[in-house]
Amino acid sequence: MKDQSRREFFKTAGCLTIGFSLSQLPLAAAMLPTQELPGNLRDYADIDAWLQVLADGSIRVFTGKLELGQGIRTAVAQVAAEELDMDLSKVTVTLAETDVTPNEAYTAGSMSVESSAMSIRYAAAAARQRLLEMAAVRLKVPAADLHMDNGTVISGNQQRLSFAEILDGKQLSGEIKMPVALKPKDQYRISGTSVHRDDVALMVKGAPLYVQDLRFPGMLHARVIRPAAYDAKLQHFDEQAVRAKVPGLLQVVVNGSFLAVIAKVEYEAMQAQQVLAAHTEWSAGTPLAGADDLPAYLATVPVQTESVREKGAKLTAPATHQASYFKPYIMHGATGPSCAVALFDKGQLFVWTHSQGVYPLRAALAEMLQLPAEQIRVKGVPGSGCYGHNGADDVAAEAALLAMAVPGKHVRLQWSRQEEHGWEPYGSAMLMNIAAKLDKDGHITHWQYGLRSDSHGNRPGGKAANLLPARYLEKAFKNDRSGSYSGGAYRNAEPYYNIPNQQVDAHFFKGPLRVSSLRSLGAFGNVFAIESFMDELAEQAGKAPFAFRLAHLEDERAVAVVKKLQELLTKATGTGGARLSEAGTSGAATGTGIGIAFARYKNNGAYCAAAAQVHVDQSGETPLIRVEKMWAVVDAGEIINPDGIKNQTEGGMVQAASWTLLEQVTYNTQHVTSVDWYGYSIFKFNQAPAVEVALINRPAEKPLGAGEAVQGPAAAAIANAVYKASGKRIRHLPITAEQLKG
């Protein structure tokens, strides 16, 4: 990646901006079935907030979302190119950048396509109509007689005007108002087709792509010396000791209990960090509870209770079946540890970051640094990262603090693997207790669900207290988790089945470890529990897993994905495979088993049915568990890029398999102990199963985000398959050989 200057940071020159209000629409245009502007168009109703026509006639699109591997850069380019009849090669995308792109808050919740891409679709459609109207005046023909072709407007008698000629150097602006004419979907040629992401080739080649690859002339390097525990305080450090051993050390920065070093060379910064850490004393900090038996501890820790759903009568009679499930703390485990670059120059702070929310981060930095927000510029750069709130915001805040200590110099701060594993916010541990009653026909009449969880959302959100370094400053910001997102814990806690009597309660605790958002939030644990329990109830009722679920589903789209999964299994495995997937009434071990599961993400998002084929070898002293193949069927409404949805679903299945069989954060009374890939195991390449994804396209329905739909169903499918294969029902994650032996 070439060196970047401050000028390039905000360089968007050489463009013509367009915007307007619509009055007349062609009869053939598709109309939005709602009277509201989609997504963030309600906040940014000017077309110049979303796209620009450049001087050469190409299109620059602005999205407030960051590319995390979900393919948003490709999807938004597709919808813009489609509405403007452009070749995809003539559409470029500018990702999240304060004062350049719209403030779309966070890239989270599988909302990138549903909000940002749809906003850009309507902005592009509005731009199309205005360009046609302007061309009609110039060519003296009706707008209905014109069509577009790759940056050119063409009349029936082949008169042509380029976009640049139509605009004639002018900049147009105005408000987009409903209704907006969309291109009829039966005329689509780009949207709805598979377009491969162009960044994948760069990843494979190891080309400069990520924030970790950024380099600037004269850039300095920094490292932070971490406390011994979350709330440990700095007691003493020996600066002379480190200066004697690391001549390249430029500066030691200390502010309260925040301690860091800056050097000219990265290796010298690493050396200084190690030496100074050995010559620093910290207070002991508050001991962490629950390390020896986390499930037992979480069952007794004080909670605040919130009723999530009460429907019909409560379960008072003895339950037909009840069970408890557990999910441990899990981490993002980003392949590339968090990194950021910052520059403080002439009163302006510039930050390059892979944060998933550049505007909320800017607001939090403003509070922490006591700088006006307008003096802070935050540019999103893809990172080798993850879905969720990892260390990206924290490292950006630390880099900003250090840049202010050496004005006029770019400062790069790279976390180590141990820092990433030990200090990032984790996905909360959870306990789920379920009881249900069946009638004589095997239908669920009563359902009682109680979950225990910490928050699943402590992103910066404009609050300095949610930034790690802010807690250690001399004027520290106390993090009491007030204002954290409680709804993430009970995401998908309500079963998506027809059950007349339901009671769902969420019990919130403040656990020992730092927590925040991780892909799918509480849906992973909740769906794992619910769909495992559905298999157990099916066995109690003497029903096959597919038939039992279908008997409790009313939504036709839910029924469709479950039936499509059934077809896939029959085709892929034959009648023997079909018997494996339908087996389970006896609990007999077969060695190989197929388990299934279903959920609709957030109960209002994408539908997903998943299956897993698992082999359990119990012939040796230690049982061996292998996920051989996984299937998923996804209905995400209208599909913009089939390849993108398949990519996310395939990756989601493999990630969920790793969570289910291997991953858990460990800690002692002082701090986290799983600080490398030995202490925190993830799937290796040779453990990844074969995967197959089928999509149900519904062009008449609105697009739904699919990036987090498969995690919960995948985990439950594996647990159900392990039961089929081994005859042992494992309800505590991860599913280990030790549990199968016990």
CATH code for position 619 = 3.30.365.10
Q: How confident is the model at residue 32 (pLDDT cuts 50, 70, 90)?
A: very low
In a domain, 673, yes or no: yes
pLDDT class for 107, splitting at 50, 70, 90? Answer: confident
Confidence band (pLDDT; 50, 70, 90) for 47?
confident
Residue that is last in its domain, among 150, 173, 202: 202
Lowest mean pLDDT among 105-109, 338-342, 586-590, 708-712: 586-590
Share of the chain above pLDDT 70, in %: 92
- Mean per-residue pLDDT, 643-662: 96
Mean pLDDT of 483-507: 93
Could you tell me which residues come within 8 angstroms of residue 292 by beta carbon, excluding any fewer than 6 positions away? none
Q: Is 79 contained in some domain?
A: yes
Single out the residue of 535, 530, 520, 513 nearest to residue 451, CA to CA.
Answer: 530
Q: How far is CA 65 from the centre of its chain?
A: 11
Quote the tokens at residue 159.
């008169």
Which pLDDT score, from 0 to 100, does residue 10 have?
Answer: 38
> What are the tokens at 435?
């009881």
pLDDT value at residue 35? 60
Q: In 371-519, which residue ranges form alpha helices assigned H by DSSP?
A: 392-403, 417-423
Of residues 18 and 597, which shows the higher confidence score? 597
Query: In this model, does residue 31 exceed pLDDT 70?
Result: no
Tokens representing 306 are 């919130």
Kindly list the distances between the CA atom of residue 644 and the CA atoms of 113, 585, 631, 695, in Å, as whole numbers in the listed order: 11, 38, 16, 11
Contact 146, 129 (CB under 8 A): no
Tell me if 75 is assigned to some domain: yes
Indicate if the pLDDT at residue 363 is higher than 60. Answer: yes
Q: Is the dihedral angle over the CA atoms 71, 75, 77, 81 positive or is it negative?
A: positive
Cα angle 548, 554, 558; round to 5: 80
Residue pLDDT, tens place only, 67-96: 888 888 999 999 999 999 999 999 999 999
What is the three-class DSSP state of 350?
A: strand
pLDDT beyond 80 at 22: no
Res 197: pLDDT: 87
3-state secondary structure of 20: coil
Segment among 159-173, 327-341, 414-428, 717-731 with least mean pLDDT: 159-173
Question: CA–CA distance from 623 to each of 326, 538, 724, 735 (Å)?
Answer: 21, 27, 15, 11
Q: What is the pLDDT of residues 515-561, one digit of tens each?
A: 999 999 999 999 999 999 999 999 999 999 999 999 999 999 999 99
Mean pLDDT of 638-658: 96
What pLDDT, on the 0 to 100 scale, is given for residue 42?
83
Residue 486 has pLDDT above 90, yes or no: no
The four Cα atoms 146, 148, 149, 152 give a dihedral, to 10 degrees, of 90
Q: Which amino acid is at 538?
A: A
Q: If pLDDT is split at 50, 70 and 90, which confidence band does 583 have?
A: low
Q: Pick from 258, 462, 239: which is nearest to 364 by CA? A: 462
Q: How far apart are CA 112 and CA 125, in angstroms?
A: 19
Neighbour-count burial of 49, counting CB atoms closer than 10 A to its CB (0-12 exposed, 13-18 middle, 19+ buried): buried
Whether 7 has a pLDDT exceeding 50, the answer reads no
* pLDDT of residue 216 exceeding 90: yes
> Is 253 within a domain?
no
Residue 156 lies in a domain: yes
Q: Are 59 and 112 in contact (CB under 8 A)?
A: no
CA distance 340 to 504: 42
Q: Is the pLDDT of residue 206 over 50?
A: yes
| pLDDT beyond 50 at 4 | no
Task: Determine the Cα–Cα distance for residues 408 and 400; give it in Å rounded to an integer.
Answer: 12
Cα dihedral 85→88→94→96 (10° resolution): 90
Residue 643 is assigned to a structural domain of this protein: yes
- Picking from 31-35, 195-199, 230-234, 707-711, which range would have the lowest pLDDT averaged per residue? 31-35
User: Which residue matches tokens 């030995």?
Assistant: 678
CA distance 462 to 376: 13
| Domain contains 171 | yes
Displacement of CA 380 from its chain's centroid (Å) = 15
Local confidence band at 581 (pLDDT 50, 70, 90 cut-offs)? low
The number of folded domains in the chain is 2
Helix (H, G, I), strand (E, B) or coil at 348: strand
Buried residues in 476-506 as b, exposed as e (16+ CB within 10 A): bbebebeebbbbbbbbbbbbbbebebbbbbb
- Greater pLDDT, 280 or 202: 280
Instruction: Kindly state the average pLDDT of the residues 33-38.
Output: 65
CA gap 608, 599 in Å, rounded: 6
Q: Which two tokens stand for residue 239?
A: 């600066």
The verdict on residue 666 lying in a domain is yes
- pLDDT over threshold 50, residue 204: yes
CA trace torsion 55, 57, 62, 66 (10° rounding): -110
Distance CA 342, CA 573 (A): 54
**Which of these, 229, 359, 218, 343, lies nearest to 283 by C-alpha position?**
229
- Which of 202, 217, 252 represents a domain boundary (last residue)? 202
Q: Which is it for strands 339-345 and 152-154: parallel, antiparallel or unpaired?
A: unpaired
Which has more confidence, 479 or 347?
Answer: 347
What pLDDT is attached to residue 575? 55
Domain of 655 in residue numbering reads as 556-741
What mean pLDDT is reported for the chain?
90
* pLDDT confidence band for 173 (50 / 70 / 90): low
172 confidence band (pLDDT: 50, 70, 90): low
Q: How far apart are CA 460 and CA 477, in angstroms?
A: 12
Average of per-residue pLDDT across 418-447: 97
Q: Residue 228 in contact with residue 670, Cβ under 8 Å?
A: yes
Q: State pTM to two decimals.
A: 0.93
**What is the pLDDT, as a whole number, of residue 729?**
97
pLDDT at 111: 80
- In this prediction, residue 269 has a pLDDT band, given cuts at 50, 70 and 90, of very high
Predicted local confidence at residue 484, as pLDDT: 74
